[in-house]
Amino acid sequence: MLIAPAFANAAAPGAEASFMSFLPMIAIFAIFWFLMIRPQQKKAKELRAMLEALQKNDEVITTGGVVGKIVKLNDQFVTLELSDNVEILVQRAAIGQRLEKGTLKNNK
């Protein structure tokens, strides 16, 4: 009686089963990408384009909330005129947004 017991071989899970288990995780990542990461990249791209397009006499707001008119600018720095004979030097990256022409005159 030296007969070895025979065990039934279980069928190996197919490739479809392993892919289906990752499908919810892939779907969550895709949703996260389109709702969070993609809009942030688009906004950063628009900000870079705005910073590159800055010109003399543009009215801007810095990220700190300072409002002024550009008097001088170079690759890294911008000189803002806050009022008559008051100028400050800020980094170009500190500019948060550009205002419409005449905004400063209307608010004085």
Tens digits of residue pLDDT in 58-106: 999 999 999 999 999 998 999 999 988 999 999 999 999 999 888 877 7
Nearest to 87 by CA among 76, 107, 73, 105: 73
Give the global pTM: 0.64
CATH number at residue 63: 2.30.30
The whole-number pLDDT of residue 108 equals 62
Name the residue range of residue 102's domain.
55-106
Residue 96 covered by a domain = yes
Assigned domain for 6 exists = no
Task: Let me know whether 60 and 102 are in one domain.
Answer: yes
Same domain membership, residue 64 and residue 31? no
pLDDT tens-digit series, residues 7-31 = 555 555 555 667 788 888 999 999 9
Give all strands (DSSP E) within the chain, no chain letters.
Answer: 59-62, 67-73, 77-83, 86-91, 95-98
Domain assignment of residue 30, yes or no: yes
Residue 4 lies in a domain: no
Pick from 38, 36, 44, 95: nearest CA to 68: 95
pLDDT of the residue at 64: 93
Query: Domain check: are 42 and 71 in the same one?
Result: no
In a domain, 75, yes or no: yes
How many domains does the structure of the chain reveal?
Answer: 2
